[in-house]
């Protein structure tokens, strides 16, 4: 009996020494995927608190993408359009050499209108059937069909609002009031290197999922006449048919609308930031367009040489190179050769300053400009119009 007591005491003593050794020398333990050195009980508490502050998106597991796609996929739609175009193809009969010998090259057949089909993507933003897509997907369409993943037959859609400059459009289907929707995330909070997911219908392949990262932000891009100043660049594969589909973060929120690819490169796609979309979404849905304040002047930078020519002490301001007919600028008396130095008491150092100042105005608002003209400065009042 005494021998058993001795053995129990020895075991207890050994266990105490072992635990003390752990906290004195430190060990590496893994909690929630993070390797942390625990050297004291205080370290344990601090580690636990730190683990609670780690965002859920940091834990990128094998089923993360699958879960996001399953949750978001039903709100992504395929859009088919029909557009009437004037065919430029020549009737082979009129290209016959024998025919041309008698009638000459000036005789041509009148081009006949024909129908062209298009394909794109979009996603539902309200339970009653409002869908966001690209303007170039539905532009000029005489017939729009929308396919949901839950049904084989398409729904007819109509355009509610569109804006060519931002390449955004809202279309509407009548499919009840309980449709799945996607929520917007804050694209301003995304960072280069963050994981993103693109869902769309490239080449008609329904609900194709691609994964990548945000490669860059704020990209200025010129695409088929549209000039974008603030696009998200991603290496998630975007192909024809992806246009209008969502770019999702790891919370399943829309941070971009896929809009274009770089035809000369692989792995370079672009998306419109969700922050840009949210600024104009209400106008598109209620007014059918985006209202933009307008001054109506063509402007250029003031170089050192121009400053000397016009008698300015510094190379600053926005030089008016032209005035649009019937514009607010013309009505207020702004002339070719004027240099705008201030806008509502804000200094104008370059053309971008003037553009940004006008954008901040409301349509119908009066603004006061300080203008340099004929070696003198004067104030000009102008009422901002709608572009």
Taking only the tens place, the pLDDT of each residue in 216-259 is: 999 988 877 778 889 999 999 888 888 999 999 999 999 999 98
Give the count of domains, the chain: 4
Q: How far is CA 323 from CA 297, 364, 368, in A?
A: 5, 19, 17
Domain of 33, in residue numbers: 2-54
Average pLDDT over residues 367-383: 95
298/361 same-domain check: yes
Are residues 34 and 85 both part of a single domain?
A: no
Same domain, 236 and 279: yes
Cα–Cα dist 26/329, whole Å? 74
Q: Quick check: is 325 in a domain?
A: yes
pLDDT higher at 156 or 263:
156
* Catalytic site residue from 121, 237, 243, 274: 243
pLDDT of residue 238: 84
Do 47 and 133 belong to one domain? Answer: no
Q: Is there a domain that residue 66 lies in?
A: no
Q: What is the CATH number of the domain that holds 106?
A: 2.40.10.10
Q: Which residues contact 116 (CB under 8 A, 6 or more apart)?
A: 82, 83, 84, 85
Mean pLDDT along residues 364-375? 95
Residue length of the chain: 387
Q: What is the pLDDT of residue 284?
A: 96
Determine what percent of the chain is predicted with pLDDT higher than 90.
60
**Of 113, 139, 173, which residue sits at a domain end?**
173
- The residue out of 148, 173, 198 marking a domain boundary is 173
In sequence order, what are the residues at sequence separation of 6 or more whose Cβ sits closer than 8 angstroms to the Cβ of residue 358? 293, 294, 295, 343, 367, 384
Is 200 domain-assigned? yes
User: Looking at the predicted structure, is the pLDDT value of residue 87 above 90?
Assistant: no
- Residue 148: phi and psi, rounded to 5, are -95, 155
Q: Do 330 and 349 sit in the same domain of this protein?
A: yes
Entry pTM: 0.71
What residues does 258 pair with on adjacent strands?
A: 271
Q: Are 188 and 275 in contact (CB under 8 A)?
A: yes
Q: How far is CA 310 from CA 298, 306, 322, 342, 372, in A?
A: 18, 6, 16, 17, 9
Q: Which of 268, 248, 246, 273 is nearest to 258 (CA)?
A: 246
Structure tokens at 249: 């973060």
Q: Reduce the DSSP state of residue 237 to 3 states and report it.
A: coil
Let me know whether 28 and 82 are in one domain.
Answer: no
What φ, ψ does residue 122 adopt, rounded to 5°? Answer: -170, 180
Q: Do 109 and 158 share a domain, yes or no?
A: yes
141: pLDDT strictly greater than 90? yes
Residues 113 and 165 in one domain: yes
Cβ–Cβ contacts within 10 Å for residue 284, how many? 22
pLDDT tens profile 294-351: 999 999 999 999 999 999 999 999 999 999 999 999 999 999 999 999 999 999 999 9
274 labelled catalytic = no
As beta bridge partners, residue 340 has 318, 371
Provide the CATH number for the domain around residue 329: 2.30.42.10
Render the burial of 64-93: b for 16+ CB within 10 Å, e for the rest: bbeebbeebbbbbbbbbbeeeeeeeeeeee
What does the mean pLDDT of the chain come to?
Answer: 82
Residues 256 and 303 in one domain: no
pLDDT digits (tens, 9 = 90+) for 22-33: 444 443 434 333
Quick one: 276 and 305 in the same domain?
Answer: no
Residue 70 counted as domain residue: no
CB-based contacts of 108, cutoff 8 Å, min separation 6: 90, 94
- Which residue is catalytic, options 121, 135, 136, 237? 136
Q: Which of 291, 286, 303, 387 is nearest to 351 (CA)?
A: 303
Q: What integer pLDDT is reported at residue 247 of this predicted model?
A: 96
What pLDDT score does 84 carry? 84
Among residues 206, 244, 209, the alpha carbon closest in space to that of 123 is found at 244
Does any domain span residue 267?
yes
The Cβ of residue 132 has, within 10 Å, a number of other Cβ atoms equal to: 26
CA-CA distance, 95 to 304, in Å (whole number)? Answer: 58
Decide if 243 is catalytic: yes
What is the percent of the chain with per-residue pLDDT over 70, rounded to a whole number? 76
Catalytic residue among 167, 187, 353, 372: 167
**What span, in angstroms and rounded, lies between the C-alpha atoms of 112 and 88?**
8
Give domain status of residue 263, yes or no: yes
Do 345 and 255 fall into the same domain? no
Alpha-carbon torsion (60, 63, 66, 68), positive or negative: negative
Same domain (yes/no): 238, 297: no
Does residue 314 belong to any structural domain of this protein?
Answer: yes
Q: From 234, 269, 286, give the residue that closes a domain.
A: 286
| Structure token digits, residue 201 | 């219908």
Asked whether residue 367 is domain-assigned, the answer is yes
């Amino acid at each position: 009996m005494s021998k058993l007591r001795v053995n129990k005491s020895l075991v207890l003593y050994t266990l105490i020494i072992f635990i003390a050794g752990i906290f004195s020398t430190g060990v590496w333990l893994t909690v929630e995927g993070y390797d942390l050195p625990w050297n004291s009980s205080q370290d344990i508490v601090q580690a636990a608190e730190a683990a609670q502050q780690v965002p859920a998106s940091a834990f990128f597991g094998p089923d993360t993408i699958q879960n996001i796609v399953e949750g978001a996929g039903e709100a992504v739609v395929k859009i088919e359009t029909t557009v009437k175009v004037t065919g430029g193809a020549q009737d082979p009969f009129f290209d016959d050499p024998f025919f041309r010998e008698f009638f000459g090259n000036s005789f041509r057949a009148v081009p006949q209108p024909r129908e062209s089909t298009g394909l794109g993507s979009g996603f539902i933003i309200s339970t009653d059937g409002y869908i966001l897509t690209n303007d170039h997907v539905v532009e000029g369409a005489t017939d729009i069909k929308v396919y949901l993943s839950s049904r084989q037959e398409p729904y007819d859609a109509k355009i509610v609002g569109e804006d060519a400059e931002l390449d955004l459009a809202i279309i509407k289907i009548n499919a009840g009031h309980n449709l799945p929707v996607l929520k917007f995330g804050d694209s301003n909070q995304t960072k280069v290197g963050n994981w993103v997911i693109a869902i769309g219908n490239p080449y008609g392949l329904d609900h194709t999922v691609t994964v990548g990262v945000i490669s860059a932000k704020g990209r200025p891009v010129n695409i088929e006449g549209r000039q974008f100043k603030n696009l998200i660049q991603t290496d998630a594969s975007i192909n024809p048919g992806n246009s209008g589909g969502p770019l999702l973060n790891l919370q399943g929120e829309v941070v971009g609308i896929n809009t274009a690819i770089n035809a000369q490169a692989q792995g370079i796609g672009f998306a419109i930031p969700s922050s840009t979309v949210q600024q104009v979404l209400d106008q598109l849905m209620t007014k059918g367009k985006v209202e933009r304040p307008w001054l109506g002047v063509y402007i250029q930078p003031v170089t050192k040489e121009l400053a000397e020519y016009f008698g300015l002490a510094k190379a600053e301001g926005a030089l008016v190179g032209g005035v649009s007919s019937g514009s607010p600028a013309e009505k207020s008396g702004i002339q070719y050769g004027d240099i705008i130095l201030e806008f509502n008491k804000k200094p104008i150092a370059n053309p971008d300053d003037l553009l940004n100042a006008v954008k901040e105005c409301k349509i119908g608002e009066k603004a006061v400009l300080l203008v340099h003209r004929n070696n003198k400065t004067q104030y000009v009042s102008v009422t901002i119009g709608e572009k």
